[in-house]
């Protein structure tokens, strides 16, 4: 029997909610033969089995296990950081099965009315916002006397951390980051909120998600893939690929009601971080407006491009005097490769007088658009929406830079003249046509084009109005990009390997492909290699459709990424059907990842059967998908080889979450690992024939 210390430790863990009773009982059963096991050894074994995290173990040793559970649902996993206004933890929301960030007011602040008011103000401020470039708030409350705020959890690093690690950032990438931040701030300003503490530490850049590298190559070796799936791999931050999110709105105030902050922002009191504070903010934070945030954003961009803050003074008074009266070292002196126009944008953002700055964050975003990196996250949106006029860069700047302004202003004026001449060419040299009864030239739709690809939109901004029209003329290696968020009632069949090899079909605003009445399959990829489909919502519709999507025959390298599959009826329907994939060991696999599937008889089927007889289905990875409210979530059967079902979340399914329905003789290298299953008594069903197959491993399927 385990020692008394071990038993007490297990009981304390159960009372604290650190691990389930079932897990504790399983551990006790495993340890009954080892009478010499100490409490510390038990903790190390629980960490190794991932029953506890290192942070939870530390709290349990200190007798603070109860602090690892907030509001009965948020299990604290690790501490992410700590500041004067609270500690931030990564936690798991057991009710919604997702990781979140939990910010907790420190114990020493519990009797500080001002601190509590500021903390609550942040919760109310975030609750009014919903934007992809702002951290989303989910919940807040008080638990065991602790005030907490639940936020969106984003895997990434603050811009201040990136600056510490690698110094200055290339101007185009820095422009992209601040462009995104400006979009988020414009949303906040539109809701009447001013941040008042814009700085690199409050801008978070997301990085690639865990397991992002698993499907990047064939990965045919089962042991190697298993080792990948057990690590906490996070791809390095791709500065041009991440999404910037504005966080920490603890200093924000609403213009309409000030959210009860009269004690915190009295007239004559400055609030913020001195390196990024506008001159007026040092004097009177109460009357800060959107232009104050623009100044802080300008100081942040200055630091990203140059690697240094504008005024490195050592004291608060020094910094206040410098921001009010001095000019920073010009950006182009610290970073000679900075484009002249970008230097002027930064200068205008940092003008001493609010009236001389850009007046809105939207103006900042528009001014930065020409300097955003061509391969950055922002470019897809820019290609659809931005209408930039270079003439807007004619701007006033501090007197010390008049010569440079005059010189670059001449270049910009010349560029404007050339641009206007090109735009005016048709009206000068080509005959004019007008519509009947009109008094001027006809309106010409602004058709958006992309390099090496075709565009689709229902509003006339695309080259085509249906996906089928674009598929008729697409060439190998090209992209078909759906620009709008409309509904396309058509079947999409990609089944010509000569024409469709290496094509990408993508939706940038979650366009819907809805099954027409007579369609058997809405989205079909058959016998075409290296196809990528991403970003769409697929709706089964009300017709006779049985399969929302099908992957048939030889399709090496096919990727379904970030798709949403929806059905409102469950009469013999299937969300994703993967059948008889004739792939060799040297081919890249078929990968279905980051998709959401709900409402089908079968959510995902992986089948090595044709008319009931075994036929090889080889080289399939089903990973990081959300499958719910189906009869059977993920179903696999037949002659399967090199099939990996990993890191999926499956719940709310009426028969089984995952069912391995029997594998044919010759099946091999099948791995079901790291899936999270819940809401069922029979989460995982394994039929008897599977036990006769070599190379099948089922492990680490957590249940909640």
DSSP letters for 619-643? EEEEES-EEESSSEEEEEEESEEEE
What CATH fold (topology level) applies to the domain 81-153? Phosphorylase Kinase; domain 1 (3.30.200)
For range 474-482, the mean pLDDT: 94
C-alpha to C-alpha distance for 224 and 703, rounded to whole angstroms = 25
Note whether 517 and 542 are within 8 A (CB). Answer: yes
pLDDT at 457 over 90: yes
Q: What are the distances in angstroms from CA 618 to CA 495, 556, 588, 611?
A: 19, 10, 11, 18
Q: In the predicted model, what is the mean pLDDT of the chain? A: 75
pLDDT at 448 over 70: yes
pLDDT at 582 over 50: yes
Angle at Cα 286 formed by Cα 284 and Cα 289, nearest 5°?
95
Q: CATH 2.160.20.10 residue ranges in the chain?
A: 481-703
For range 12-29, the mean pLDDT: 67
C-alpha to C-alpha distance for 138 and 123, rounded to whole angstroms = 9
Note whether 95 and 73 are within 8 A (CB). Answer: yes
C-alpha to C-alpha distance for 283 and 272, rounded to whole angstroms = 11
Q: CATH 3.30.200.20 residue ranges in the chain?
A: 81-153
Query: Is 156-207+242-408 assigned to CATH 1.10.510.10?
Result: yes
Backbone angles phi, psi at 424, to 5 degrees: -85, -10
- Residue of higher predicted confidence among 618 and 144: 618
Note whether 340 and 390 are within 8 A (CB). Answer: no
Q: What percent of the chain has pLDDT over 70?
A: 70
- Residue of higher predicted confidence among 21 and 274: 274
Classify residue 165 by burial, with Cβ atoms within 10 Å: 0-12, 13-18, 19+.
exposed
C-alpha to C-alpha distance for 466 and 478, rounded to whole angstroms = 17
pLDDT for position 471: 96
Structure tokens at 409: 């202003």
Backbone angles phi, psi at 296, to 5 degrees: -60, -35
527-569 pLDDT tens trace:
999 999 999 999 987 766 678 888 888 899 999 998 999 987 6
C-alpha to C-alpha distance for 19 and 32, rounded to whole angstroms = 19
pLDDT for position 429: 42
Q: How many C-beta atoms lie closer than 10 Å to residue 466's C-beta? A: 16
What single DSSP character describes residue 455?
E
129-172 pLDDT tens trace:
778 888 877 777 777 777 787 888 887 888 888 888 778 888 88
Distance between alpha carbon 184 and the CA centroid of its chain, in Å?
Answer: 14
C-alpha to C-alpha distance for 545 and 564, rounded to whole angstroms = 17
The domain 481-703 is placed in CATH, from the list 3.50.50.60, 3.40.50.80, 2.160.20.10, 3.40.50.300, at: 2.160.20.10
The terminus-to-terminus CA distance of the chain in angstroms comes to 28
pLDDT for position 513: 94
Note whether 479 and 503 are within 8 A (CB). Answer: yes
Structure tokens at 253: 């105030």
- Residue of higher predicted confidence among 302 and 652: 302
Residue among 665, 653, 636, 660 nearest 599 (CA): 653
pLDDT for position 284: 66
C-alpha to C-alpha distance for 239 and 177, rounded to whole angstroms = 9
DSSP letters for 78-122? EEEEEETTEEEEEEEETTTTEEEEEEE--GGGTT-HHHHHHHHHH
H or E element that contains 550: strand 547-552
Note whether 154 and 205 are within 8 A (CB). Answer: no
pLDDT for position 376: 59
H or E element that contains 672: strand 668-673
**340: confidence class by pLDDT, cuts 50, 70, 90:** confident
Q: Which of 93, 139, 176, 197 is catalytic?
A: 197
For range 596-618, the mean pLDDT: 89
DSSP letters for 22-60? HHHHHHHHHHTT-TT--HHHHHHHHHHTTSS-HHHHHHH
Q: Where are the beta strands (DSSP E) in 253-392?
A: 253-254
Q: What are the distances in angstroms from CA 68 to CA 31, 74, 87, 105, 110?
A: 25, 8, 13, 14, 18
**Is residue 561 flagged as an active site residue?**
no
C-alpha to C-alpha distance for 480 and 365, rounded to whole angstroms = 27
Tell me the pairing of strands 137-143 and 146-152: antiparallel
Note whether 203 and 176 are within 8 A (CB). Answer: no
DSSP letters for 235-275? PPP-TTT--EEE---TT-EETTTGGG-TTTS-TT---S-GG
Q: CATH 1.10.510.10 residue ranges in the chain?
A: 156-207+242-408
- Residue of higher predicted confidence among 499 and 680: 499
**215: confidence class by pLDDT, cuts 50, 70, 90:** very low
For range 8-16, the mean pLDDT: 72
According to the 3-state scheme, what is the secondary structure of 503-538? CEEEECCCCEEECCCCCCEEEEEECCCCCEEECCEE
pLDDT for position 394: 41
* β-sheet bridge partners, residue 74: 70, 93
Max CA distance (Å), the chain: 97
pLDDT for position 384: 52
Q: What are the distances in angstroms from CA 220 to CA 585, 625, 643, 670?
A: 7, 21, 9, 10
Tell me the pairing of strands 156-158 and 203-206: antiparallel
Q: What is residue 380's three-state secondary structure?
A: helix
What single DSSP character describes residue 602?
E
pLDDT at 178 over 90: yes
pLDDT for position 252: 54
* β-sheet bridge partners, residue 564: 537, 596
């Amino acid at each position: 029997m385990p020692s008394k210390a071990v038993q007490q430790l297990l009981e304390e863990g159960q009372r604290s909610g650190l691990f389930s009773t079932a897990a504790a009982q399983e551990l006790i059963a495993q340890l009954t033969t080892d009478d010499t096991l100490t409490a510390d050894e038990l903790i190390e074994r629980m960490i190794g089995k991932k029953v506890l995290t290192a942070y939870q173990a530390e709290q349990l040793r200190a007798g603070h296990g109860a602090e690892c559970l907030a509001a009965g649902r948020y299990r604290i996993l690790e501490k992410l950081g700590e500041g004067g206004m609270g500690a931030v933890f990564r936690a798991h929301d057991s009710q919604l099965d997702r990781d979140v960030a939990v910010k907790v007011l420190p114990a020493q602040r519990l009797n500080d009315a001002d601190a509590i008011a500021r903390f609550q103000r942040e919760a109310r401020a975030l609750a009014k916002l919903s934007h992809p470039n702002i951290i989303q708030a989910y919940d807040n409350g008080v638990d065991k006397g602790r005030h907490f705020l639940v936020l969106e959890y984003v895997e990434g690093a603050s811009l201040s951390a990136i600056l510490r690690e690698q110094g200055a950032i290339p101007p185009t990438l820095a422009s992209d980051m601040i462009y995104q931040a400006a979009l988020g701030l414009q949303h906040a300003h539109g809701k009447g909120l001013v941040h008042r503490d814009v700085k690199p530490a409050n801008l978070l850049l997301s990085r690639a998600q865990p397991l992002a590298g698993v499907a990047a190559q064939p990965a045919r070796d089962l042991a190697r893939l298993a080792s990948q799936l057990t690590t906490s791999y996070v791809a390095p931050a791709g500065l041009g690929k991440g999404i910037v999110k504005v966080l920490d709105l603890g200093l924000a105030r609403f213009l309409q009601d000030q959210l009860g902050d009269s004690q915190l922002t009295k007239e004559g009191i400055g609030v913020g971080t001195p390196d990024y504070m506008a001159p007026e903010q040092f004097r009177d934070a109460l009357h800060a407006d959107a232009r104050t945030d623009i100044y802080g954003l300008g100081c942040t961009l200055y630091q990203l491009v140059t690697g240094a803050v504008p005024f490195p003074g050592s004291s608060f008074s020094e910094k206040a005097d410098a921001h009010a009266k001095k000019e920073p070292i010009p950006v182009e002196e610290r970073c000679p490769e900075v484009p002249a126009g970008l230097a002027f944008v930064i200068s205008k953002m940092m003008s001493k007088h609010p009236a001389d700055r850009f007046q809105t964050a939207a103006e900042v975003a528009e001014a930065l658009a020409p300097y955003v990196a061509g391969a950055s996250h922002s470019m897809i949106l820019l290609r659809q929406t931005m209408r930039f006029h270079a003439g807007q860069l004619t701007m006033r700047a501090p007197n010390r830079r008049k010569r440079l302004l005059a010189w670059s202003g001449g270049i910009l004026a010349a560029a404007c003249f050339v641009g206007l001449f090109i735009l005016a060419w048709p009206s000068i040299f080509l005959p004019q046509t007008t519509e009947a009864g009109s008094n001027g030239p006809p309106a010409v739709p602004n058709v958006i084009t992309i390099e090496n690809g075709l565009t689709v939109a229902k509003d006339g901004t695309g080259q085509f109005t249906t996906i089928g029209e674009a598929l008729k003329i697409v060439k190998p290696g090209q992209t078909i990009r759906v620009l709008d968020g409309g509904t396309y009632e058509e079947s999409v069949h990609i089944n010509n390997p000569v024409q469709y090899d290496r094509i990408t079909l993508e939706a940038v605003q979650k366009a819907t492909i809805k099954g027409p009445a007579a369609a058997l399959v809405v989205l079909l990829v058959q016998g075409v290699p290296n196809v990528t489909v991403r970003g769409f919502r697929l709706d089964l519709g009300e017709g006779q459709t049985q399969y929302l999507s099908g992957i048939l025959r030889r399709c090496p390298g096919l990727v379904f990424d970030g798709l949403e599959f929806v059905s409102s009826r469950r009469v013999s329907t299937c969300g994703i059907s993967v059948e008889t994939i004739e792939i060799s060991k040297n081919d890249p696999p078929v990968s279905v990842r980051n998709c959401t599937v709900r409402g089908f008889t079968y959510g995902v089927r992986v089948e090595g059967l044709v008319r009931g007889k075994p036929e090889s289905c080889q080289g399939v990875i089903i990973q990081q998908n959300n499958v719910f409210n189906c009869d059977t979530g993920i179903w696999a059967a037949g002659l399967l080889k090199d099939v990996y079902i990993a890191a999926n979340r499956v719940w709310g399914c009426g028969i089984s979450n995952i069912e391995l329905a029997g594998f044919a003789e010759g099946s091999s290298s099948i791995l079901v690992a790291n899936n999270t299953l819940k809401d069922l008594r029979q989460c995982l069903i394994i039929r008897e024939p599977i036990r006769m197959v070599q190379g099948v491993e089922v492990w680490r399927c957590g249940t909640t």
